[in-house]
Amino acid sequence: MGNHLVTSNGSSQDPVTKEVLVLAEENSKPSGNEHKPMPENKSKTSRTTLIGRYEKVIGVLIKYGFADVATFPPLNRFVKKWPKLLPKHKGHPVTEFTKFERMRMVCEELGTTFIKFAQIASNRPDVLPEELIEQLSTFQDHAVPVPEDQIRQVLVQELGKDPEAIFEFFDYHPIASASMAQVHRARLIGGREVVLKVQRPGIEETIELDISILKNLARLIHRHFPVTHSYQPEELVKMFERSIRKEMDFSIEASNLKHFESNFRGNQNIYVPSLYQEYCTRRVLCLEYIQGLKITNLSELAKIGMSGPELAMKGISLYFEQVFDHGFFHADPHPGNIFVLPDKKICFIDFGMMGTVVESDKLLLGDLLLAIHEQDVPGLKHALLRFSWDETRINEKDLEYDIIEFFQNYSNIGIEDIDSKEVIAALNSLFFDYKIKVPSNLLLLLKALVIIEGVGLMLDPRYDIIGNIAPFVRRLLEKKYSAAKISKNFFKSLSDLSRLTSTLPRDASEIIKKIKKGKLHIEFEHRGLEGLNEALGILSKRVAFSIVLGSLILGSSLLVVANVPPYFRNVPALGFFGFIISGFLGLRLLISIMRHGKF
């Protein structure tokens, strides 16, 4: 990567690069709020690390972004003559790859944090285009295992004892190794078989460093590249920061498991692994070892009398129970996270990514599914608009026509032949096209439903997710329109109305008093003036620049006419160089207007 790094001393940096490196310098300085002064050598190391990381990030961005410039005149002439000038990926020039493929390559080359960012961003089809979602969904989270001495050090730091004092046996060879943590088998003193999820040493520092860089890059991209505004880069980084901080804290996963266990306590169809709280910290999680069969291992499942169709109905019904009955669901239900025990109980593992659905969103999801099932155009439009946080900017008539087209695609297909993945992909396209900003947990649920249908089809090729989900939706809607629910809502509304009537006279009296005293303030919010403000700003800068330029030309002319020494080739030097500077500045203004439309 040395050939692609942008050094902080280079004179050919563009304004965005310079701004990024300035931010790197500022971020590397200790803030005034720190409790302990940072040692000088550590501060220098931190600053060097941060600036070095910025240079690596910028270098990789330039490496994969160069193709956007190189494919347009006049640089494309040089690319045709000297193709070796183009950076390469696995032996192929970057111009051979699409923009979205290169975005994936950037994340791959920058490592753990950026891969995690891509995986989390792929959960936002309402913000990112479908082509980019497909690229970002291809990442596999694998990593080289951490050496034994480092894992041992983490265990001692977190548990306060040597592993030998807690475990009869500890296997330092991991059964799974990912970018954030790795999983080890062990046996507690007393004989209980457990697994320990141990966070990789140093990963928190790396992620904090990259979060800082991502925040600054998102802000700069938003400021300098208006075409990316629809992707909401700053919002994506905020969402990633919240998610990754939760994932780094294993105590949250422990809490998720306890919540999940309490929801299914007494249910004979599901088994929840035991949690050994005394051996759990923010960086270590200790759970019961599950000796079961993977849900897709049909040959072994047949030996315990479990058929694929039976398992699909039982296991996925339990999943829908999580969503519609408890509102707390496993957000990553791929086959590796679902096991079947010898007594035919279903066991979910890995509770690091869980989703929550509040009652109102469950009802909304039920309305959405019911509208799709009945091909109800107004119903689906109403449900989609209720999903959105801002209905005012949506063209409802265009949305209605697109929904009609959406239903026409499935009008001649039997309900059992409809692919829910295609349906949800079509819904995601509507979210993106109409900028319908859906709550992230609902998007997480839609993605999980696609995964769970894939599991169902592995078990039973004729699995029908619509038929499986229908009883839960029906029960949910029956509850919504039950006499008890309507009565409860009526009395709640009556209570709100009573509260309003009791406070209305007092509020009206206060408003009248403010009007009499001239203290009533009304706030106006002007919308749609951002473009005008930007145009006026550019115009004022150009006018000011032109005045300065004209003054410089006029002053130089007066100096030449007045024949003021010293001289340069028999011409007054100050006037001569004034004309030279004026020429360069005028040329710069002209180029700026012609190329960018702004100064």
Give me the mean pLDDT over the 398-419 stretch.
71
173-187 pLDDT, tens digit per residue, is: 999 888 889 999 999
- The percent of residues above 70 in pLDDT, for the chain, comes to 79
Average pLDDT over residues 259-263: 96
In angstroms, the CA 114 to CA 211 distance is 9
Task: Give me the sign of the Cα torsion angle 261, 264, 266, 272.
Answer: negative
CA 330 to chain centre: 18
Token reading at 511: 């408003």
Delimit the domains of the chain by residue range. 2-140, 141-289, 364-483, 485-521, 530-595
Sign of the four-CA dihedral 384, 385, 390, 396: positive
The answer to whether residue 503 scores a pLDDT higher than 60 is: yes
- In single-letter form, the type of residue at position 553 comes to I
pLDDT at 36 over 60: no
Contact (CB, 8 A) for 41 and 76: no
- Model confidence over 167-225: pLDDT tens digits? 999 999 999 888 889 999 999 998 999 999 999 998 888 888 889 888 888 887 777 77
Phi, psi for 220 (deg, rounded to 5): -70, -40
Spatial CB neighbours of 342, under 8 Å, sequence gap ≥ 6: 292, 304
Q: What is the mean pLDDT of residues 134-161?
A: 86
Choose between 556 and 527: higher pLDDT: 556
3-state secondary structure string across 405-419: HHHHCCCCCCHHHCC
Give the count of alpha carbons within 13 A of 264, CB side only: 26
Displacement of CA 269 from its chain's centroid (Å): 34
Higher pLDDT, 476 or 349: 349
* Tokens 């949305």 found at: 399
- In angstroms, what CA-CA distances link 241 with 211, 216, 228, 248? 7, 13, 20, 11
Phi, psi (deg, nearest 5) at residue 523: -100, 135
What stretch of H or E contains 70?
helix 40-70
Across 438-452, average pLDDT = 79
Q: Which two tokens stand for residue 577?
A: 């160089």
Per-residue pLDDT of 102-145, as tens digits, reads 888 888 888 888 888 888 788 777 678 888 888 887 776 677 89
**Cα end-to-end distance, the chain, whole Å:** 34
pLDDT at 6: 32
Helix, coil or strand: residue 354: strand
Query: Across residues 58-71, what is the average pLDDT?
Result: 65
List, in order, residues 6 or more apart from 437 with CB less than 8 Å away: 126, 127, 388, 389, 390
Amino acid identity of residue 373, one-letter, is H
Residue 145 vs residues 148, 172, 387: alpha-carbon distances, Å: 9, 10, 43
Report residue 591's pLDDT band, with 50, 70 and 90 as the boundaries.
confident
Burial class (CB within 10 angstroms; exposed 0-12, middle 13-18, buried 19+) of 69: exposed
For residue 322, the 8-state DSSP code is I
> Does residue 23 sit in helix, strand or coil?
helix
> Could you report the per-residue pLDDT of 73-99, keeping only the tens digit for each?
544 554 455 555 566 767 777 777 888
Residue 286 to residue 308: CA distance in whole angstroms: 32
Instruction: Specify the pairing of strand 270-271 against strand 346-348.
Output: parallel
> CA Rg, the chain, in Å?
31
Shortest CA distance to 97 belongs to which of 115, 71, 59? 71
Q: How far lies 186's CA from each of 183, 287, 324, 354, 458, in Å?
A: 10, 10, 36, 26, 32
Q: What is the pLDDT of residue 542?
A: 79
Tokens of 87: 């950076």
